[in-house]
């Protein structure tokens, strides 16, 4: 469990994080979503005691990072996958980390196995692909078998296979009852990865809710209907007070649910080829909720360049 309350960080004239309060529950993947520069990394650094808040605090299991007796056994983090010494092997890197944190050496082999790096454990980490480096970073985060895990933009720059692996691995960690908090500016990725969302813009909380609620709240839910008798169906729906828009070979109906549309079609003896509720995307939801209050427009690209 992570709890931020009134968390604030000022760098000179920049208010990077402003009076931010949210909580992250155990047993779920919680997405930390916001455009570039929204304050996600700063929040994560404060959570890990790498930066001090100007005001407020953030606690892990009720304690500030500095108060944790055995930090690595409580919280693991992947902030930057490329910080490993390039000439060190994955095993040597993890062994060094384990030793300096009084973690038994056998745990090194366990985490290498968990992330699928056993076969390359003795190769130079400097030669690793970004995907392999991310796995090594995750192995390091898991060394102390912590209850709480923080990942900052873990899928940035990864290929689809790497992205899928990370997503499934996070679900698995949450399934084991851990608290998994993962930041991203890739909205569609978060829709697939996270069941809860903490959304920020310009250092401030925009919303905290389930991913489903966030999308439902912001999007106009519509129903797509296809029929070989479109004009007749159109007329029936308008008569029943639905708003109907033509979309080529389909109608997009709002103000009426799919059950009602099906009943109207049946009553009029009209054939349907498709009747599908359209839920809005996370992108739409984000734009709608944040409006112009955040400079999100450049952050909407699906594939951001690797950092």
Ligand X SMILES: Nc1ncnc2c1ncn2[C@@H]1O[C@H](COP(=O)(O)OP(=O)(O)OP(=O)(O)O)[C@@H](O)[C@H]1O
Residues forming contacts to ligand X in the complex (CB under 6 A) are: 11, 14, 16, 34, 36-42, 185
CB nearer to ligand X: give 42 or 134. 42
In whole angstroms, how close is the CB of 100 to ligand X at the nearest point?
26
Q: How far is the CB of 90 from ligand X (least distance, A)?
A: 26
DSSP letter (8 states) at residue 32: E
Helices and strands in the chain: count of H runs, count of E runs: 11, 13
Contact assessment for residue 125 and residue 89, using Cβ atoms and an 8 Å cutoff: yes
Structure-token pair, residue 119: 């076969």
**E strand intervals along the chain:** 2-11, 14-24, 28-33, 55-60, 75-78, 148-152, 179-184, 196-201, 204-210, 222-226, 243-247, 250-254, 274-278
Q: Which is nearer to ligand X, 80 or 257 (CB)?
A: 80
Tokens 């005691």 map to which residue? 49
Does the CA dihedral 250-254-259-262 come out positive or negative?
A: negative
In DSSP notation, 105-127 reads: THHHHHHHHHTT-GGGTTSBGGG
Choice between 200 and 265, CB closer to ligand X: 200
- Comparing CB distances to ligand X, the nearer of 42 and 47 is 42
- Report the residue number, 153 or 196, with the smaller CB distance to ligand X: 153
CB of 266 to ligand X, least distance (A): 50
The count of other CB atoms within 10 Å of the CB of residue 229 is 16
Q: How far is the CB of 40 from ligand X (least distance, A)?
A: 3
Nearer Cβ to ligand X, position 131 or 203? 203
Q: How far is the CB of 176 from ligand X (least distance, A)?
A: 27
3 state SS of 153: coil
Least gap, CB of 34 to ligand X (angstroms): 5
């Amino acid at each position: 469990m992570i709890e931020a309350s009134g968390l604030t960080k000022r760098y000179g004239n920049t208010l990077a994080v402003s009076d931010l309060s949210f909580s992250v529950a155990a047993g779920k993947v919680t997405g930390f979503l916001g455009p570039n520069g929204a304050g996600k990394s700063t929040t994560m650094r404060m959570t890990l005691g790498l930066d001090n808040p100007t005001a407020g605090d953030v606690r892990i299991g009720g304690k500030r990072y500095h108060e944790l007796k055995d930090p690595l056994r409580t919280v693991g983090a992947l902030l930057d996958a490329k910080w490993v010494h390039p000439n060190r092997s994955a095993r040597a890197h993890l062994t060094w980390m384990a030793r300096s944190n009084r973690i038994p050496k056998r745990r090194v082999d366990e985490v290498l196995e968990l992330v699928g790096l056993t076969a390359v454990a003795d190769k130079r980490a400097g030669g690793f692909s970004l995907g392999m480096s991310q796995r090594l970073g995750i192995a390091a985060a898991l060394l102390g078998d912590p209850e709480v895990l923080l990942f900052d933009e873990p899928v940035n720059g990864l290929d689809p296979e790497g992205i899928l692996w990370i997503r499934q691995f996070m679900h698995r960690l949450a399934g084991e009852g851990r608290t998994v908090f993962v930041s991203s500016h890739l909205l569609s990725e978060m829709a697939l990865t996270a069941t809860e969302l903490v959304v920020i813009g310009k250092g401030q909380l925009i919303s905290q809710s389930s991913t489903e609620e966030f999308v439902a709240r912001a999007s106009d839910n519509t129903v797509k209907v296809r029929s070989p008798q479109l004009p007749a169906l159109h007329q029936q729906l308008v008569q029943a007070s639905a708003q109907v828009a033509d979309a080529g070979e389909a109608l997009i109906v709002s103000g009426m649910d799919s059950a009602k549309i099906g009943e109207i079609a049946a009553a009029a003896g009209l054939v349907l080829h498709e009747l599908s509720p359209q839920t809005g995307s996370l992108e739409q939801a984000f734009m709608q909720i944040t409006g112009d209050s955040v400079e999100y427009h450049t952050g909407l690209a699906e594939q951001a360049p690797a950092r």
